[in-house]
Chains A and B, each alone.
Chain A
C-alpha cells in the first residue's frame, strides 16, 4: 500500500495559485503581466482537474486539462496580438492609461 499525499493538499495548492493569479490580475498595471497571471489561474484550474482525476482514477480530468492547455495557447496568441496592436496605437501597455473601452 503506497501511502500518498492527501488530495486536500493538492487542492489547497491549487487554491493558493488561483488566488495569487487573481491578486496579480487585480493589482498589476502591465497588460503582459496581467496575461501571465491569467495563465497562473488556468494552471490552478488544471491542477484541480488533475487532482480529482487522480482521486477518481478517471482519465477525463486529463482530457479536460489538455483542452484547457489548448485554449490557453489560443488565448495567449490572441491576447498578445491585441497587446501589440494597442501598443502600436497608444505607445503603452499600462492598462490604467488605456481608457477607450471604459463607460
Chain B
C-alpha cells in the first residue's frame, strides 16, 4: 500500500462523487461548479499517470476557459432552478439508467480480462522524460504536425462559427 494507492483512491472517489453531483444538481450553476471540481480531481489522476503536461492543459483549458464559458452562458441566460414539475421517475430515466448500467457492466467485464501488466515503473519513466512537455512537443511537431495545424484551423472555424450563430444580426 504505497502513497500512490492512497492518492489514487482519494482522487478517484472525489472525481466520481463530483461527477454524480454534476448529474443530480438542480441548478445549472451547481452542475458547473461540480464539473470544475471533477476536472481538478481528474487532473490529479493524470499526474498519477505521469501525464503532467496534460494535467496542466486540463486545468488551463477546461477549468480556465471552457468552464468560464459555461458559467458566462448560464448567467447570460439567467437560468434559475429547473421549474419542470413532472414525475421524478419517468420511463426515459429508467431506460437511461438501465442503458448506462448495462454499458458499465460490459466495460468492466472486458477491462477485468486484461492481464495485469503494469510494468511501466516510475524510475523508468523518469529516465525517459515521459510525459514532459519536451517529449510531447517533439512527438506533435515530428509525427502529428498536420493534425496540429488542422486543430488550429478548427479552433478558428469554431470561433467564427460561434459569433455567427450567437449574433442576432450580422
Q: Tell me the A residues contacting B by CB distance below 8 Å.
A: 1-13, 15-24, 26-30, 32-33, 35-37, 39-40, 43, 46-47, 50-51, 53-57, 59-60, 62-63, 65-67, 69-78, 80-85, 87-88, 93-94
Contacts and interface: CB of A to CB of B under 8 A. Distances in A.
Given A6-B116, A69-B58, A60 B139 contact: yes
Contacts of B151: 67, 70-71
Contacts, number: 242
Given A24-B23, A78-B161, A93-B77, A39 B51 contact: no
A78 B66 contact: no
17 contacts: A5-B118, A26-B95, A27-B93, A27-B96, A33-B22, A33-B28, A36-B31, A40-B22, A46-B54, A59-B139, A60-B143, A62-B136, A66-B57, A69-B57, A69-B61, A73-B61, A76-B69
B54 A40 contact: no
Interface in B105-154: 107-108, 111-112, 114, 116-118, 120-125, 128, 130-131, 135-136, 138-140, 143-144, 147, 151, 154
B54 A57 contact: no
A94 to B, nearest CB: 6
Chain B: number of interface residues, binned into ranges: 35 or more
Given A47-B42, A60-B139, A74-B158, A8 B114 contact: yes
B166 to A, nearest CB: 4
Interface of B: 2, 4-5, 8, 12, 15-16, 19-20, 22-23, 28, 31-32, 35, 38-39, 42, 45-46, 48-51, 53-54, 57-58, 61-62, 65-66, 69-70, 73-74, 76-77, 79, 82, 84, 92-93, 95-97, 99-101, 103-104, 107-108, 111-112, 114, 116-118, 120-125, 128, 130-131, 135-136, 138-140, 143-144, 147, 151, 154-155, 157-159, 161-163, 165-166, 168
